[in-house]
Copies of this chain bind each other. A is one copy, B any other.
Amino acid sequence: MPEINVKNIIVETATIFFSKFGFHKTTMDEIAKHIHKAKGVLYYYFKSKEELFNEVLKRELNSVKANLSKIVTSDADSLTILNEYILTRFKILNNSENYHETLKADFFEKYQFVKDVRDEFDAFERTQLTYILSKGKDEERLDISNVNSTLNVIMMVIHSIEIPLYLQNKYTEYEKPIDELVTLLIKSLKTLK
């Protein structure tokens, strides 16, 4: 069986198990057994369980990035883009149990190995949001004196809200207030005419 397939099958299987049982409760043995392979195969392709989880996480986040990039590069105006970016981000990451689990890194030591992947996703987000805000500023649709500080506000809001949203199962409760918050923020950033 070609490498490309075995590695993918491992990652796909790991995605299912990690999503369902979490990183710590999933064993390498059960992943191996599920694909009818010896455990050693997993270690042939991945240095460790942590590296496998990071690969699973990267692929999930790459999918999220692709969706978000589509929004950012659309023909819509920057206000619409910013609106859709934030709402879509919350919505699609709601389905990523593995991403939720990484939020625990901010509370427990045992997840520090996900830091790099998390930082990389953060960097992606800052880039996308900076692009949106700068575009809006250039188009004179957004009234922003300092792009970077507005960016920090938005990042703070996103990172703060996602904790109760995903770790305290408040997605349903907060769905409507999030909509309204984003509307308010857009309104406050909109250039007055």
Contacts and interface: CB of A to CB of B under 8 A. Distances in A.
Interface of A: 106-107, 149-150, 152-153, 155-157, 159-161, 163-165, 167-168, 174, 176-178, 180-181, 184-185, 187-189, 192
B160 A176 contact: no
For the residues of A in contact with B, the DSSP-based class is helix
A67 to B, nearest CB: 23
Copies of this chain in its oligomeric complex: 2
Determine which residue in A156, A165, A168, A185 has the highest number of CB atoms from chain B within 10 A of its CB, and name it: A156
A149 B107 CA distance: 31
B177 A152 contact: yes
A189 B184 CA distance: 8
Contact of A161 (B156, B165, B167, B185): B156
Nearest to A182: B153
A164 B106 contact: yes
Contact of A160 (B149, B155, B161, B192): B161
Contacts of A152: 176-177, 180
A153 B177 CA distance: 5
B181 A153 contact: yes
17 contacts: A106-B168, A107-B107, A107-B167, A149-B177, A152-B176, A153-B177, A153-B180, A156-B177, A156-B181, A157-B160, A157-B161, A160-B161, A160-B163, A160-B164, A160-B165, A188-B188, A192-B192
A109 B174 CA distance: 22
A129 to B, nearest CB: 13
Contacts of A174: 156
Contacts of A150: 180
Given A161-B156, A161-B160, A163-B164, A149 B180 contact: yes
Contacts of A107: 107, 167-168
